[in-house]
Amino acid sequence: MSPRLIRLGVGACIMHRDPLRAIFKGKALLYVEQELTEYAMRHGALVFLIPVPDVDHPLAPSYDDYIDQIDGLLLQGGADVAPSSYGEEAMRPEWGGDAVRDAYEIELIKRCLKRGKPILGACRGIQILNVALGGTLYQDISTQVDGSLVHRDWEIYDQNVHEVALRPGNWLTELYPGQATARVNTVHHQAIKDVAPGLEVCAVSTADGIVEGVLLDDGDRFAVAVQWHPEWTEAGPVGLLSAEPLMQAFLDKVRERMESPR
């Protein structure tokens, strides 16, 4: 019998209630960016969006009920992480972020790690993983990091690229043997400031030192996250770091945990 397909839950982006929105007026929406799901599905994984659990209703499934049904977790991009989620006040109102989504994803992260379910994050995913584990963020790179690159350019969006240095000797960078540097896309204005305890930095921007990849691998817990969007690599400029080894190796790790639960 063939092994069953890996089931990945994905943390939802949230479009909050807006009485002026033309579509689903006044309703809250949960969604996932399509290329992320395609990225996992072309490696044979099933992808399910995890709704925000209704903790106030006694019959509603809990966080753990959802986590029971998945083998691993994907953390996607989207709204800013709220400074209040890591003990700061917003330097500008437009950087206030989404504390509701933060609380939801932090619950998913902590419960998945406690249960030994591997996590893969991209863009916001690396930031919320860092915050969930006790780290902090730059609210705005260009404001807080002298000499920084333009990491988010709205006009060219995912066509904006820069170089990262891959630090040797860890799970992430060993996926690209013999490659000390690589080009990746960049669509973010926040980034890791203080690295959370237990996270290993695997990649940094060569021009300004911004953290671009982190790993948690302590035997019981496994999480890997990158600041770029690997799911957008195929549509990006020629010469970007291949996204396929990352997803395939992550799914191999998930399968390993499924076959040898801890």
pLDDT, tens digit, 9 for 90 and up, residues 118-134 = 999 999 999 999 999 99
The pLDDT assigned to 216 comes to 98
- Rounded distance between C-alpha atoms, residue 172 and residue 160, angstroms: 23
Bridging pattern class, strands 222-226 and 119-122? parallel
The pLDDT assigned to 55 comes to 85
Q: At 81, list the tokens.
A: 């992480």
Over pLDDT 90: what percentage of the chain? 95
The pLDDT assigned to 262 comes to 67
51 pLDDT more than 70 = yes
Mark 56-87 as b/e (b = at least 16 C-beta within 10 Å).
eeeeeeebeebbeebbbbbbbbbbbbbbebbe
3-state secondary structure of 258: helix
- In the block, tokens 């040898």 appear at 260
Residues labelled as active-site residues? 123, 229, 231
State the sign of the Cα–Cα–Cα–Cα dihedral 111, 112, 113, 115: positive
The pLDDT assigned to 260 comes to 85
- Rounded distance between C-alpha atoms, residue 210 and residue 203, angstroms: 9
Over pLDDT 70: what percentage of the chain? 99
- Rounded distance between C-alpha atoms, residue 49 and residue 10, angstroms: 5
- Domains annotated for the chain, with CATH where assigned, are 7-259 (3.40.50.880)
| Mean pLDDT for the stretch of residues 186-208 | 98
13 pLDDT more than 80 = yes
Confidence of residue 3 (pLDDT cuts 50, 70, 90): confident
The pLDDT assigned to 138 comes to 98
pLDDT, tens digit, 9 for 90 and up, residues 60-97 = 999 999 999 999 999 999 999 999 999 999 999 999 99
172 pLDDT more than 90 = yes
Bridging pattern class, strands 181-185 and 161-166? antiparallel
3-state secondary structure of 77: coil
1 pLDDT more than 70 = no
- Rounded distance between C-alpha atoms, residue 213 and residue 38, angstroms: 22
- Rounded distance between C-alpha atoms, residue 47 and residue 40, angstroms: 7
